[in-house]
Structure 1
Amino acid sequence: MKKLVLSILVSLPVCLACAPSASAEEFSVTTTVAFESRYVFRGIQFAETSFQPGIDLSYGNFYGGAWLNLPVGDDDFIATPGGEELDLFAGYSASLDGVTSFDIGVTYYTFPDLMSGFFDIFEEDGDGLGANTLEIFGGISFDTVLSPSFYIYRDFMFDTTTFEGGVSHSYPISENTSFDFGGAVGYVIDDDAGADYLYGAASADVSYAFTDNASASVGARYGGSDIAGGSLIDDSIAGTTKSSGFWFGLSLSSSF
């Protein structure tokens, strides 16, 4: 559940859908180490305070990588008791006309605390939670005001389809500093349990570039959902007793 179209999804993954798009046939590597006071994905909290290291590889229009969630404490949550997670992802992203880009790919989610085997796709652990799962995705984005994007995700084990739209913008403060913000709204259709729900996310970060290849950021996030019949604000974090959906995060990244 890596980064999404936004830094808030941290993920992502979030973001699983925020992948590099290169026009030249060159190989690049980007490493990131993040700290988040909560790990929230699509309106559901999976862990408390966590470290989130990751690596992104790209060659031309192809990309892939790995992302980890490593909880600092031992708090258990409904989604994934223990909170440890390893995601592997790969995809292809390219520009269609200089303004519109498309992105297709696949993400393999694994949960070391619960899985019986790394390659046990579709195998549940008895309670239907935490088994490895495979998700494909496709999306389009536009290089225009607020950089709008729209993605569709299909999870094969949990039989869910997710529709997510997002916007983001970076406002320069100085030569090396910028204010970055973004937001996303998504809807999850659960074909199995019928537990469809709406979620939202937002982020605001101050980023500083040490060099052309190294940067740091710190900021606030918000995530919410209408799970359990509430609103995006009232039922902000599903699977917990918390009434507030705000948390913070910071990250360091470098590329070569």
Structure 2
Amino acid sequence: MKKLIATLAIVGAAGTSGLFAQTGNSIEDLSITSSFAYESQYVFRGVKLNYDSFQPSLEFGFPVVGGDLYVGIWSNLPISGKNGGGAAGTLMGNANEIDIYAGYAYPITDMVTLDAGFIYYWYVNAPSMGNNATSYVEPYIGASFDVLLSPAIYVYYSVDQLTKAGGSGPDSGILTIEASIGYSFDLSQYMTVEGLSFDTGAYIGMGIPNDSSAMNGTTSFIYAGVTGDLVYAFNENVSASIGVRYSNYSQSGNSVTPPYSGSGFAPNQNNIWMGASVGFTY
């Protein structure tokens, strides 16, 4: 998830000429990336939330004071009526998810970039989601490293995502720490096809609720996954990919953890699915 209106608002509020004069940049420095993806399952932090889904996204970026300001929107639009719990109308059902995010990334050295921002999660027309709020904000901070395997580590905290036991509203959050690596194998050097690569990635994360009573006594959960995509770049602006994904989710205790309670979700699960996308960069 990773907003057009927000970007225009920022520029308009500052005054176009004033903003460009302060940063030394012009409108030509504005970058736009978009993608149109299909996933046979929608898996979020190891948990399957839905089956066949369309996932469009749009992001704007602009260089500011040596770093990059970015604003974007990401959506999950279920194609089928069933979800990860099995029956339509439970937890996600046919509900659309819209995530709006914004952040600022700043390179502190040639190899280290710090990133901070927030994500606003909105489950549009979602049915009752048990202990989980139908909208909440999640600030984050992270660092990425321009070295072999491109490692990165991020820390997230969801504000008022869960309802405490006996509480009257969502007033508990989850601290999530996630580390990831990735590598792109250039296949064009072995084949006559230019622009062909195989991109791989792996991640592992841990979630810790600030009040275990909001998660049926669960004190933590762990998730991990790997991805592999065959990517073809038609040119510097357009690319397409297709690949497979695997994820694992496990938690302390055997009860189903909110926000997935009451929906038939297994507290421990393994998922394998495929995805394809077309991406554009301007």
TM range (shorter): 0.7 to 0.9
How far off is 1:212 after superposition? 0.6
1:47–1:75 contact (8 Å) kept in structure 2: yes
CA deviations over 1:16-67 (Å, ceiling 9, x no partner): xxxxxxx994101111000000000111111100000010110111001101
1:80–1:129 contact (8 Å) kept in structure 2: no
Please report the RMSD computed on the Cα atoms of aligned residues, expressed in angstroms. Answer: 2.3
Partner of 1:253: 279
1:79–1:239 contact (8 Å) kept in structure 2: no
Partner of 2:47: 44
- 1:27 aligns to 2:30 (yes or no): yes
- 1:133 aligns to 2:136 (yes or no): yes
Partner of 1:104: 116
Structure 1 residue runs of 5 or longer lacking an equivalent are: 4-22, 116-124, 231-237
- 1:164 aligns to 2:181 (yes or no): no
CA distance in 1, matches of 2:38, 2:268: 20
Partner of 1:66: 73
CA distance in 2, matches of 1:74, 1:227: 27
How far off is 1:81 after superposition? 3.3
- 1:89 aligns to 2:101 (yes or no): yes
- 1:178 aligns to 2:182 (yes or no): no
- 3-state DSSP class of the match of 2:130? coil
Q: What TM-score comes out, normalization by structure 1 length? A: 0.80
CA deviations over 1:194-221 (Å, ceiling 9, x no partner): 5210000110001000011000000000
Pick the structure with more helix per residue: 2
Aligned residues: 220
Instruction: Calculate percent identity across the aligned residue pairs.
Output: 32
CA distance in 2, matches of 1:75, 1:190: 28
CA deviations over 1:139-180 (Å, ceiling 9, x no partner): 001100101110000100121000000100111001301110
CA distance in 1, matches of 2:116, 2:48: 26
- 3-state DSSP class of the match of 2:160? coil
User: Cα–Cα, structure 1 residues 162 and 251, in superposed 2: closer, same or farther, change >3 Å?
Assistant: same
CA distance in 2, matches of 1:133, 1:80: 15
Amino acid corresponding to residue 72 of structure 1 in structure 2: I
Structure 2 residue runs of 5 or longer lacking an equivalent are: 3-22, 162-172, 189-193, 255-263
CA distance in 2, matches of 1:214, 1:24: 28
Amino acid corresponding to residue 147 of structure 2 in structure 1: T
User: Cα–Cα, structure 1 residues 247 and 89, in superposed 2: closer, same or farther, change >3 Å?
Assistant: same
How far off is 1:127 after superposition? 3.0
Partner of 1:151: 154
1:79–1:129 contact (8 Å) kept in structure 2: no
Match for 2:92 among 72, 76, 80?
80
Q: What TM-score comes out, normalization by structure 2 length? A: 0.73
Partner of 1:204: 228
- 1:190 aligns to 2:193 (yes or no): no
Please identify, of 75-84 and 206-215, the stretch whose mean Cα deviation from structure 2 is larger.
75-84
Partner of 1:118: none
- 3-state DSSP class of the match of 2:124? coil
CA distance in 2, matches of 1:152, 1:96: 18
User: Cα–Cα, structure 1 residues 83 and 130, in superposed 2: closer, same or farther, change >3 Å?
Assistant: farther
User: Cα–Cα, structure 1 residues 94 and 128, in superposed 2: closer, same or farther, change >3 Å?
Assistant: same
1:114–1:130 contact (8 Å) kept in structure 2: no
Larger Rg: 2
User: Cα–Cα, structure 1 residues 204 and 35, in superposed 2: closer, same or farther, change >3 Å?
Assistant: same
1:56–1:63 contact (8 Å) kept in structure 2: yes
Match for 2:241 among 211, 217, 220?
217
User: Cα–Cα, structure 1 residues 190 and 243, in superposed 2: closer, same or farther, change >3 Å?
Assistant: closer
